[in-house]
Amino acid sequence: MKAIIIGAGIGGMSAAAALKQQGIECEIFEAVKEMKPVGAAISVWSNGVKCMNHLGMGSIMDNLGGPMHRMAYNEGISGATMTQFSLAPLVAEVGERPCPVSRADLQAQMIDWWGREKVHFGKRLEAVTQTDTNVTATFTDGSTVTGDFMIAADGAHSIAREYVLGHKVERRYAGYVNWNGLVEIDEAIAPADQWTMFVADGKRVSVMPIADNRFYFFFDVPLPLGLPQDRSTVKHDLTGYFQDWAQPVQTLIDAITPETTNRIEIHDVEPFKPLVKGRVALLGDAGHSTTPDIGQGGCAALEDAVVLGQCFAEEDSIELALAEYNDARVDRVKDLVLKARARCDVTHGYHPETTQAWYEELRSETGEGIMKGLSKTILGGPLG
């Protein structure tokens, strides 16, 4: 049995690992010649780490995971602590730690784990056709490949999604711009073992420790879509958006390198179904593109892969295995996308009274409420 996998992101590489565990041959086709991820880092929450362990790639988490042992919210303007707590009770409850990781390193190590020379780079999917017995991918260079089935992990702008649904899906602008990158850890910004967020006026600044003494930082600012993007003005822009903010935020802005700072207009896609058409299945962002507000997009791709493997372990028929995958994932991924969207609205001040009420809540938060929410999301994954 041979699977064609489209995309060598977190989704495609984890799908390949899951299918390999079931003895299924995989050929991976990636559009770009060189991987250049759009985000500097991601937090792989405990559900994602469990999936990486299950897929045999746990050592990558050990290599790359940062020491995120505590969490804190600070008031953005004054810098005063609103809440600060240990994540140890969460880790104890869910049975695994979260791992914030450099995204480029994660993708590179997943590809190396598989065998870089075995991935076909520079192959952009253009069209999909299928018969009762096989699937053919046509690439923009005119070449084709045929396999028994296709896992399309071609990301948020998926071509295969249009094929599976029979219509184009428009992405929805979530109303804010996210700047992100990496800086050396500086305790004048925040403690080295803590995920620290500064919040005020519907804006957010976050630093999270990843391996090699680096902070993954991001700034969120609610803004209209389509403003000019210019790396050379990043510091000036951020200084303007955060001019009254506390000293650690100013220190962070001073520390960033404009050339390696990403600016992303955040989008998601309205949850849809099905995720599968016959022998073609969508996986990862192709099947459920979410805002990053609960840090679950990549984790959901890893969950998809684990479930895909489980379905092939239970079913010999490709169509039945993929139908089972569809049924097992549709509600979970819808839930994650909508949860992130709801969180996004509160965090970014779209209903100011709700956001003010959240700021008030944070001031009396012991950590229990936040960890309860995190644990519910984590334990809703396929590995509990």
DSSP 8-class letter at 272: -
How far apart are alpha carbons 283 and 155 in whole angstroms?
8
Among 5, 153, 280, 281, binds ligand FAD (CB under 6 A): 153
DSSP 8-class letter at 346: H
Residues 280-299 that bind ligand FAD (CB under 6 A): 284-286, 292, 295-299
Q: Which is nearer to ligand FAD, 82 or 106 (CB)?
A: 106
Residues 112-131 that bind ligand FAD (CB under 6 A): 124-125
- Contact region with ligand FAD (CB under 6 A), list: 37-45, 227-235, 345-353, 366-374: 37-45
Q: Which is nearer to ligand FAD, 5 or 246 (CB)?
A: 5
Angle at 139 between CA 138 and CA 140, to 5 degrees: 130
How far apart are alpha carbons 353 and 357 in whole angstroms?
6
* 181 sits near ligand FAD (criterion: CB under 6 A): no
* 155 sits near ligand FAD (criterion: CB under 6 A): yes
Q: Which is nearer to ligand FAD, 77 or 108 (CB)?
A: 108
CA atoms within 13 A on the CB side of 233: 7
Shortest distance, CB of residue 82 to ligand FAD, whole angstroms? 21
Cα 28 from chain centre:
20
* 66 sits near ligand FAD (criterion: CB under 6 A): no
How far apart are alpha carbons 45 and 60 in whole angstroms?
14
* 9 sits near ligand FAD (criterion: CB under 6 A): yes
Binding track, positions 237-276, relative to ligand FAD; x by CB under 6 A: ---------------------------x------------
* Strand order, beta sheet including 194-200: 81-86, 70-75, 194-200, 203-210, 214-222, 172-184, 262-268
The torsion defined by the Cα of 42, 48, 49 and 55, in degrees rounded to 10, comes to -120
* 159 sits near ligand FAD (criterion: CB under 6 A): yes
* 175 sits near ligand FAD (criterion: CB under 6 A): no
Cα 309 from chain centre:
20
Under 8 Å CB-to-CB from 320, ≥6 apart: which residues?
Answer: none
- Contact region with ligand FAD (CB under 6 A), list: 35-43, 228-236, 270-278, 343-351: 35-43
Q: Which is nearer to ligand FAD, 271 or 292 (CB)?
A: 292
**What does the binding site for ligand FAD look like in residue numbers (CB under 6 A)?**
6-12, 29-32, 38-39, 42-44, 48, 124-125, 153-156, 159, 178, 180, 264, 284-286, 292, 295-299, 301
